[in-house]
Structure 1
Amino acid sequence: MSQEDFAQRVYWLVTRIPFGSVATYGQIAGYAGSPRAARAVGTLLRHSLENFGELPWQRVINAQGRISFKGDLGRAELQRALLEAEGVVFDSEGRCDLNTYRWQPREIFWDVD
Structure 2
Amino acid sequence: MWQRKVVGLRQHHCRTCGSAVCGSCCDNWTTYPPMGYETKVRICNDCNARMKDNPQNFNLTPLAISHEIRTGITAMHLQETLGLLATSGQNRVVMIWDVRNVCSASPSSASTSYQ
- Same fold flag (TM > 0.5): no
Task: Using CA pairs under 8 Å that are at least 6 residues apart, name the structure with larger relative contact order, 1 or 2.
Answer: 1
The answer to which structure has the higher helix fraction is 1
Give the structure with higher Rg (CA). Answer: 2
The answer to which structure has the higher strand fraction is 2
